[in-house]
């Protein structure tokens, strides 16, 4: 086999690894889990932990350079993580339900995840905060310590 064919095959194998590593890293798998999954999917006899780390660094570099500049991508990434979490939570809830009564802690966490999703999508109205009271501006400065600090400096 010529060197160019060998280089092309190595590059294709690396791209295949990086695709899987990217997917698993986004879903917050451990380095050892990523290693096992890549070896399984690509039928690799070996895949060292140091190569896994190098692949993760390459994925992170690509994300930082290309994708994370794009806020829409970052939001989409978080939405995918929330979706994954909700799927897993529903699966766990259904397992406890089969055993009797479903564990309501899973439902509580699902609701929290959905709340985060709505926040990311901007579905909540901005919070309005009002300051009220009889305090004057000078009183507020005194109470907050700003005027006291200025007097001490003199």
From first to last of the 154 residues of the chain, give the pLDDT tens digit. Answer: 578 888 999 999 999 999 999 989 888 899 999 999 999 999 999 999 999 999 999 988 887 776 556 677 778 888 999 999 999 999 999 988 887 777 889 999 999 999 999 998 888 877 666 666 666 667 767 777 766 554 454 4
Tokens read off for 41 = 């999917």
CA distance 56 to 17: 10
Looking from the CA of 35 toward its CB, the CA atoms found within 13 Å total: 13
CA R_g for the chain: 26
Nearest to 111 by CA among 96, 90, 80: 90
**What's CA 88's distance to the chain center, in Å?**
15
């Amino acid at each position: 086999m010529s060197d160019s064919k060998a280089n092309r095959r190595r590059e294709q194998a690396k791209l295949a690894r990086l695709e899987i590593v990217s997917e698993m890293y986004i879903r917050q798998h451990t380095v050892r889990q990523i290693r096992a999954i890549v070896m399984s999917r690509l039928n690799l006899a070996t895949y060292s932990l140091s190569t896994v780390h190098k692949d993760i660094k390459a994925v992170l570099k690509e994300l930082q350079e290309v994708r994370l500049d794009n806020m829409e991508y970052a939001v989409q990434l978080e939405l995918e993580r929330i979706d994954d979490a909700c799927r897993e939570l529903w699966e766990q809830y259904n397992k406890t339900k089969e055993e009797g009564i479903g564990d309501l802690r899973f439902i509580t966490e699902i609701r929290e995840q959905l709340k985060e999703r709505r926040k990311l999508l901007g579905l909540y109205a901005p919070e309005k905060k009002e300051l009220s009271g009889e305090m004057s501006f000078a009183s507020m400065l005194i109470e907050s310590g700003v005027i006291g600090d200025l007097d001490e400096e003199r």
